[in-house]
Amino acid sequence: MTEIRRGTLPEQTFYEQVGGEETFRRLVHRFYAGVAGDPELRAMYPEEDLGPAEERLRLFLIQYWGGPTTYGERRGHPRLRMRHMPFTVDRAAHDAWLRHMRAAVDELDLPPEQEQTLWNYLTYAAASMVNTPD
C-alpha cells in the first residue's frame, strides 16, 4: 500500500495520467485500423482477425505504463524481440509501424509532455524490434 503523508498526494502512474485503459484502447484500436490496410504490416499478423493482436498490444502497453498486470498474468514475460523474431522486421516495417502509431498517438490529443513521453518509448520500441538489415 502506498504511504500517504500529510499534505502530499500519491504519485500517479503514466497510465493514470493519460486516462487509463480507455486511452490505451483508443490508441491501439486506431493503430490496428491502420495496420489492417497496410499490406506490408498486415502480413506479419497470421491471424485472420486482428482482434487478438490488438488485445495483446493493448494489455502490454497498459502493463508497461503502470496499469493492471493482465498481460504478464496471461502471457508471462513480454520477450518482445523473441516474439517478433519469426517475422522480417526491416527498416520499411519499422517506418510503417511508426507511421500508423504516429497517427494513433496524434488522435489522443495528449498534453505535450505526455505525448512526448509516449512517443519516445514507441520510437525506442520500434527500433529495438528491427531484426533484418537493409
What is the band of 67 on the pLDDT scale with cuts at 50, 70, 90? very high
Q: Is residue 4 part of a domain?
A: no
8 in any annotated domain = no
CB-based contacts of 133: which residues, under 8 Å, 6+ apart? 90
Model confidence over 74-127: pLDDT tens digits?
Answer: 888 877 766 766 777 889 999 999 999 999 999 999 999 999 999 999 999 999
Q: Where residue 45 sits, what CATH number does that domain have?
A: 1.10.490.10
C-alpha closest to that of 114 among 4, 17, 10: 17
> Would residue 80 count as lying in a domain?
yes
Query: Per the structure, how many domains does the chain have?
Result: 1
- For a pLDDT cut of 70, what percent of the chain falls above it? 90
Is 92 inside a domain boundary? yes
- Domain span at residue 93? 15-129
**Is 125 contained in some domain?**
yes
